[in-house]
Amino acid sequence: MKASGNIPTLSINAECLPEAWEKAVLAVWDDGLDIKTQYDKAEDAPSKDATVIVTVYHPFAEPRIHKNYPGGPVELEVYRQEVVDGIHDHWIDPAAGKWTYTYHERLFAYCPVYGLRDPEGAKKPFAPVDQVEYIIDSLSKVEYTRRAQAITWMPTADIYTEDPPCLQRIWCRLVADEAGKLALNMNTHWRSRDLYKAWFMNVYALTDLQRVIAERISKRIGKPVSVGRYVDISDSLHLYGRYFEEVKIEVEKMRDGFYRNRAWESTHPAFEMMTQEARANLARDPDWYAKGTKRDDE
């Protein structure tokens, strides 16, 4: 039951990524709160907004790719490498008006940025922290630890920037099934994100990071570690009013409930071909696909 003055809290359960995206879009479209944003133009309708928890029970189940999200195989591969491999960490240069962070940099080399408001503070040393290595090490030593997490928020920098991180935290835990086989469960917590244009790409990359962490733990402990369920928590998951005409078209398609009609398996020849071409181009030049430096997460 909706109550005036409250942001709706929605819960989604799905087997795979395309199903999860469709269910989330429909839920926010139907039950989201109409509310303005800091990015609206005068003519824009209010966004649809909700606090949403999405559980994907099998993040690598097929079909894994949604054909209709606003992007494609190339964009997915570029973003995956940006998050998992850090191919765009060299774009970080706040003094030059460029990016203030990448998720890869914050997760693999977290180092508070001093000096944005305090020139003297810029001289303070602070060794970068590989938080992903911390997660791997913690779970390798104690598989059921509750301390295996990584954060992105940096008060020394992010409260001053116009483009602060949407991803806030990653939390991981190993769980054994009845046969004793281990699975890496992951939760991600997001401050704010664009459900229509950013969510699918975000989750595609973060679940690949989940896979990487599971493989590295497995190698460390000498036991198989599979990818377990993925939980995605967004304080503000929204559909922007400026996209409504575009979103309406997709929503009508989603009403039939047959998400598989709009999904590809990751082994689909067209997807594989475009992904391999993107990898080859990125190997030659990490900036090959760069079109600018503005993120679309928010």
Tens-place pLDDT, residues 145-183: 999 999 999 998 898 888 899 999 999 999 998 888 999
Host H or E run for residue 65: strand 65-66
Q: Peptide bond before 155: cis, by omega within 30 degrees of 0?
A: no
Give the rounded percent of residues in the chain with a pLDDT score beyond 90. Answer: 79
Tens-place pLDDT, residues 210-236: 999 999 999 999 999 999 999 999 999
Q: Give residue 294's pLDDT.
A: 45
Tens-place pLDDT, residues 38-90: 888 889 999 999 999 999 999 999 999 999 999 999 999 999 999 999 999 99
Question: Of residues 285 and 116, which shows the higher confidence score?
Answer: 285
* pLDDT class of 298 with cuts at 50, 70, 90: low
Query: Does position 117 have pLDDT exceeding 50, yes or no?
Result: no
180: its two tokens: 């004793």
* pLDDT class of 138 with cuts at 50, 70, 90: very high
**Residue 228 region, left (φ>0) first, then alpha (ψ -120 to 50), else beta?**
beta
**Which of 81, 103, 99 is CA-nearest to residue 289?**
81
Please report how many Cα atoms fall inside a 13 Å half-sphere around the Cα of residue 164, on the Cβ side. Answer: 14
| DSSP SS3 for 78 | helix
Radius of gyration of the chain (CA): 20
Domains of the chain, CATH where assigned: 9-284 (3.30.572.10)
* pLDDT class of 95 with cuts at 50, 70, 90: confident
Query: Does position 293 have pLDDT exceeding 50, yes or no?
Result: no
Q: Look up the pTM and report it.
A: 0.93
Paired strand residues for 13? 55
Tens-place pLDDT, residues 3-15: 678 999 999 999 9
What distance in Å separates the CA atoms of residue 132 and residue 189, rounded to the nearest whole number? 16
